[in-house]
Structure 1
Amino acid sequence: MNTIRKIFWILNKFFMVPAFRLGLGPLLGTPISGYVMIIKNTGHKTGKLRWTPVNYAIKDGCVYCLAGFGKVAHWYKNIKAKPSVELLLPSGAVAAEARELLASPERLTIMRQILKNSGFAAFLFGINPFTVSDSVLEEKTQDYIVLGLEPKGIGSGAADPGGWLWLLPTFATILLIWWLLVSFR
């Protein structure tokens, strides 16, 4: 695994996914850091639940994301095997069905918007989505895969069963009790 993929793997596994599971997703998206959602799906080999942070764009009621590492991305392989996923967006969770945009005339427009929404990440890969021409963008992203994720229903978010939102008030309560006990000795 190359260095940049390793850095993203560590950042995603130990920061982004836990933050979303704790309900902190709405606090993380900025034009600089990028706008992120979590794709919750099933591993195609293990059958285990997988959580993958990706940059996204919303257009005409559909959510779009990008597999920037192409067909080698494990989460992409999982979606190809089982296209039914859940999306943890900063504003809530939805169930969705994934489809690949291959030769769609909108592919380049949607890809550009996702890259704009990715904050520093696009620049890290040498792409300025605000100024790059369509032909150069097409050339630099020929291995990128654009996925359309069409919402089909409600998903389970951080405050629902299986989410981690309950940890914040529990931890805060324990700290408050500890502080009160220590303060009044």
Structure 2
Amino acid sequence: MLWLWRLHLGWCMSACPPLLGRVMLISHTGRKSGIVRQTPVNYRVIDRSVWLMAMPEAAWWRNVQADPRVQVRLPFSRWRGVAEEIPIDGDHLSQIRAVMTSGGWIAATLDRFHPRKASDAEILEHVCGMHLIRVGDLERIRRRG
């Protein structure tokens, strides 16, 4: 997937959100190496913040916990921001459902869990142990030239 972004074709990953989902690239700094890493993830933009989820042992999330300053590369724009973990509870159910549905049909089929059909209780049970992340304080990165 990263090669699509390097060829400036990352927008193709989000060309058909209902099927393929919405995919962005998050750039974060390695907690041990200090090297900038990039990871493709599903996302949803809600109220001028970028929302995403991470599995419990995701290495990229551990890097972000060590240094929450990240860059997000959406299909047609880049932003700098600060990532923060948001509690997974009933107060953030709409954001959780939005991020889960942003994975598209393929993610729902592979995961064998369809967030559009699931009840609120089923969603909260399914995401137990996962991390809900909001990237806020967004500042647009302008292209050079």
TM-score normalised according to structure 2 size? 0.90
Query: Which is helix-richer, 1 or 2?
Result: 1
Q: What is the root-mean-square deviation of aligned Cα atoms in Å? A: 1.8
Q: Which residue of 2 aligns with 1:83?
A: 68
Residue 49 of structure 2 corresponds to residue 74 of structure 1 = no
| Equivalent in the alignment of 2:110 | 124
Q: How many angstroms does 1:105 deviate by?
A: 4.5
Q: What's the CA shift for 1:45?
A: 1.1
> What's the secondary structure of 1:32's corresponding residue?
helix
The answer to whether residue 9 in structure 2 is matched with residue 24 in structure 1 is yes
2:80/2:140 contact within 8 Å kept: yes
The one of 115, 119, 122 equivalent to 1:133 is 119
Unaligned runs of 5+ in 1: 1-15, 162-185
Identity %: 30
Q: Which residue among 50, 56, 63 is the counterpart of 2:37?
A: 50
Q: Deviations over 1:124-151 (max 9, x none)?
A: 1121011100101111110111100014
* TM-score, length-scaled by structure 1: 0.71
What count of residue pairs does the alignment treat as equivalent? Answer: 142
Q: Distance in 2 between matches of 1:87 and 1:149?
A: 9
Report the Cα distance in structure 2 between the residues aligned to 1:23 and 1:113, rounded to whole angstroms: 26
Say which one has the larger Rg: 1
Consecutive unaligned residues of structure 2, counting only runs of 5 or more, are none
Find the residue that maps to 2:43 and give its secondary structure. strand
Indicate the SS of the match to 1:38.
strand
The equivalent residue for 2:25 is: 38
- Could you say which structure has the greater relative contact order, defined with CA pairs below 8 angstroms and 6 or more residues apart? 2
**1:61 lines up with 2:48 in the alignment:** yes
Larger fraction in strand: 2
